[in-house]
Structure 1
Amino acid sequence: MPLHICFIHGKESGPWGNKGQLFSRIANERGHEFSALNYLSAENPDDPESRVKMLNAYLAETKIPGNELILVGSSMGGYVAARASQKYRAAGMFLMAPAIGLQHYPVQWPEIKAGSVYLVHGLFDRTIPWMNTNMLSQKLDCKIHLLADDHRLSDSLDLIEEDFLIFLAELESTLNA
Structure 2
Amino acid sequence: MPGHVILSHGSDSGPDATKVSALAKVAESMGWTSERPDYRADDALGHAGCITPRVARLHDRIAASSTQPVLVGSSMGSFVSGLASLEVPVAGLFLLATPAVIPGSDYAFDVRLDVPTLLVHGWQDDVCPLDDIYEFAMRRSLPLLVLDDDHRLSAHVDAIARQFGLFLEQLAART
**TM-score, length-normalised on structure 1?**
0.89
Contact 2:83-2:109 within 8 A present in 1 as well? no
Contact 2:9-2:20 within 8 A present in 1 as well? yes
Q: Deviations over 1:52-110 (max 9, x none)?
A: 111112222x14432xx100010000111011111212111000011223443321233
Q: Deviations over 1:139-174 (max 9, x none)?
A: 331211111100011111011112212211110111
Contact 2:27-2:168 within 8 A present in 1 as well? no
Equivalent-residue separation in structure 2 for 1:111 and 1:93 (angstroms): 8
Q: Deviations over 1:109-129 (max 9, x none)?
A: 334355200010001011011
Gaps of 5+ in 2: none
Identity of aligned residues (%): 29
From the superposition, tell whether residues 113 and 45 of structure 1 become closer, same or farther in structure 2 (CA, over 3 Å).
farther
Find the residue that maps to 2:54 and give its secondary structure.
helix
Q: How does 1:65-104 map to 2 (within 5 A)?
A: 65-66=67-68, 69-104=69-104
Equivalent-residue separation in structure 2 for 1:111 and 1:21 (angstroms): 24
Contact 1:137-1:143 within 8 A present in 2 as well? yes
From the superposition, tell whether residues 56 and 2 of structure 1 become closer, same or farther in structure 2 (CA, over 3 Å).
same
Q: Which amino acid aligns with 2:126?
A: R
Relative contact order higher in (CA < 8 Å, ≥ 6 apart) = 2
Equivalent-residue separation in structure 2 for 1:74 and 1:137 (angstroms): 16
Contact 1:52-1:84 within 8 A present in 2 as well? yes
Who is 1:11 aligned against? 11
Q: How does 1:38-53 map to 2 (within 5 A)?
A: 38-42=38-42, 45-46=45-46, 47-53=50-56
Contact 1:93-1:114 within 8 A present in 2 as well? no
Find the residue that maps to 2:127 and give its secondary structure.
coil
Find the residue that maps to 2:29 and give its secondary structure.
helix
Query: Which of the two has greater strand per residue?
Result: 1
Who is 1:20 aligned against? 20
What is the CA RMSD across the aligned residues, in angstroms? 1.8
Find the residue that maps to 1:86 and give its secondary structure.
helix
Gaps of 5+ in 1: none
Find the residue that maps to 1:42 and give its secondary structure.
helix
Equivalent-residue separation in structure 1 for 2:160 and 2:122 (angstroms): 11
Contact 2:8-2:73 within 8 A present in 1 as well? yes
**TM-score, length-normalised on structure 2?**
0.90
Question: Which one is further off, 116-125 or 157-166?
Answer: 157-166
